[in-house]
DNA sequence: CGCCACGTTGATAATGATCAAACCATGTGG
DNA sequence: CCACATGGTTTGATCATTATCAACGTGGCG
């Protein structure tokens, strides 16, 4: 009864109540009315690792919130060389407004759950809720910052620095319960060595070598290929190359 | 007479009348009233090459439209390694909404003219004009696409491919009067070899070698270090590595 | 004139790619 | 249960690309 009343008074659709996308994602911009309208057309999906979500040069007919898991965004050259140009974690918004065709490929790196909306529903929401567009802008600018951060890594860091930077980034994104100042962290890598190499612009052999090098030096422990423990975050940080921004 | 009436009825501020930012930039989103309001606080500046526009970790107190020239956005590691993470041409919007401090450095690569607005004016415009936010989103997404395109270049292309890709990008951006299908193009490089190397994640020596290699092969001519003529666009394209997107 | 910043060219070294083989965990069918 | 295939991973040997170091050219400018 209390529950029903809560729902009634707040007007927030039940599946949205505990959704991360409402707390930190784009849905946080929406009034209960808008949210209810959007929720009517939404659908949840559980995706297996490796499944392609958006094909390159494919028409985009839906947008999604990432609720859990990791999605990798890739671009490929015609001779097969591939580059991962972004990773999306919950509660990121997946999809490219204003473009009919996607120029990138989205694929589930881990098991992923999505909350998907038809294209038209998102477009309507963009028309009727300025705050929603505002949120989309914020997310786009964050992704832009991240992309540029990785451009520095791709263009100017050595292989050891690249791998260290990658581990640090994953540690900070995957395990949100680990606070940034923590001494150590333990987590599952969300992708294979080959994926990591496509992310860092190096070969999987080099990734492997750098990981064993970090292991030999006692910076990390590798439990079973995927599971990694960082014993000393500060030592890992020191291997990421110079600080991103020049100290003031 | 007809002209005066146009101006009067449209109510567009005089300096904005022939401004590229109104035709293709963010100001195109604004109604005459908004435009007039914004124009009151705007100021134009001519900047010399090499002048820093936004310092890393510096408070951002104004936003600008690029009216002419090229602005380079850079990020640096503390040991001096530098990466150019973006180039802005007219009529791009310069500045990072929602953040007090810039994480990147903006510097005039060529002579640049700007139309600048105080921070508060832009924030007000974002509140009162949803269409303006809409445009900012579009620009941010375009910059994101470009950044990701360059991630592929940085991570997966060889030095010769990088230099060819760079020339192609410049040819397409600088000389907007050259239609994309043109056979040849002639333009001024907007930056030094060192800048180009910071953009491509290679050394200036390598840039130089690849340029002479292209010159030897008759793909380009180098008039005087800065001035370049591409004799055959198609041959240049063929040296950029596989097509960005896999053909359908 | 000679300085200075930028650019080119050459010789050598190092980083990371490539090729190849072995390894390991996992799942499958005899 | 074990042989065996499979995909991902590790490790080693060798090679290629590109960085580094150094010298020289060139054009503008006090």
Which residues in chain A have Cβ-Cβ distances shorter than 8 Å to B198? 155
For residue B8, pLDDT over 80 is answered with no
CB A148 within 8 A of CB B99: no
Domains defined for chain B, CATH in brackets: 2-147 (2.60.120.10), 157-238 (1.10.10.10)
For residue B25, pLDDT over 50 is answered with yes
% pLDDT > 70, chain B: 90
Nearest CA among A183, A192, A201 for reference residue A84: A201
Tell me how crowded residue B51 is: count the other CB atoms within 10 A of its CB: 12
Tell me how crowded residue A170 is: count the other CB atoms within 10 A of its CB: 22
Alpha-carbon distance A166 to A160, whole Å?
10
Range B46-54 average pLDDT? 92
Quick: pLDDT tens for B114-159. 999 999 999 999 999 999 999 999 999 999 999 999 999 999 999 9
Kindly state whether B241 is in contact with chain A, defined as any CB-CB distance less than 8 angstroms: yes
Alpha-carbon distance B72 to A208, whole Å?
35
CB < 7 A contacts with chain C (nucleic strand): A 158-160, 201-203, 205-206, 224; B 192-194, 204-205, 207-209, 211-212, 222, 225-226
Nearest CA among B80, B209, B149 for reference residue A241: B80
**Is the model more confident about A4 or about B76?**
B76
CA A6 to chain B, closest CA, distance in angstroms equals: 31
How much is the pLDDT for A61?
A: 85
Q: What average pLDDT values come out for chain A (248 residues) when binned by 10 residues?
A: 49 91 95 94 94 81 94 96 97 89 90 95 95 96 97 98 97 72 88 98 98 97 94 94 63
Which residues in chain B have Cβ-Cβ distances shorter than 8 Å to A141? 96-99, 140
**Is the model more confident about B242 or about B56?**
B242
Which residues in chain A have Cβ-Cβ distances shorter than 8 Å to B79? 241-242
- Owner of token pair 């090098």: A213
How much is the pLDDT for B1?
A: 43
CB B47 within 8 A of CB B111: yes
Nearest CA among A246, A220, A62 for reference residue B75: A246
Per-residue pLDDT band at B245 (split at 50, 70, 90): low
Kindly state whether A164 is in contact with chain B, defined as any CB-CB distance less than 8 angstroms: no
Chain C nucleotides near the protein (CB, 7 A): 6-11, 15-20, 25-26
Interface of B with A in 7-46 (CB under 8 A): none
For residue B57, pLDDT over 90 is answered with no
CB B147 within 8 A of CB B154: no
Summary mean pLDDT of chain B: 90
- For chain A residues 216-245, those near strand D by a CB cutoff of 7 A are 222, 225-226
Quick: pLDDT tens for B159-195. 999 999 999 999 998 865 566 667 889 999 999 999 9
């Amino acid at each position: 009864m209390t529950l029903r009343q809560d729902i009634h008074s707040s007007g927030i659709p039940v599946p949205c109540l505990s959704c991360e996308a409402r707390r930190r994602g784009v849905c946080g911009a929406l009034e209960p009315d808008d949210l209810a309208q959007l929720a009517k057309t939404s659908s949840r999906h559980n995706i297996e690792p490796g499944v392609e979500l958006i094909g390159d040069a494919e028409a985009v007919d839906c947008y999604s919130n990432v609720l859990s898991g990791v999605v990798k965004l890739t671009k490929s050259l015609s001779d097969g060389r591939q580059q991962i140009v972004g990773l999306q974690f919950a509660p990121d918004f997946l999809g490219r407004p204003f473009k009919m065709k996607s120029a990138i490929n989205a694929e589930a790196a881990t098991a992923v759950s999505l909350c998907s909306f038809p294209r038209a529903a998102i477009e309507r929401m963009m028309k009727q809720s300025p705050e929603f567009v505002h949120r989309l802008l914020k997310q786009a600018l964050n992704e832009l910052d991240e992309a540029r951060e990785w451009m520095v890594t791709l263009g100017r860091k050595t292989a050891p620095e690249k791998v260290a930077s990658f581990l640090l980034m994953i540690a900070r994104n995957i395990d949100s319960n680990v606070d940034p100042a923590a001494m150590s962290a333990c987590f599952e890598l969300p992708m294979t060595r080959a994926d990591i190499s496509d992310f860092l612009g190096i070969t999987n052999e080099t990734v492997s070598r750098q990981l064993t090098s970090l292991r030999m030096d006692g910076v990390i422990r590798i439990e079973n290929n995927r599971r990694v423990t960082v014993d000393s975050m500060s030592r890992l940080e020191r291997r990421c190359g110079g600080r991103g921004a020049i100290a003031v």
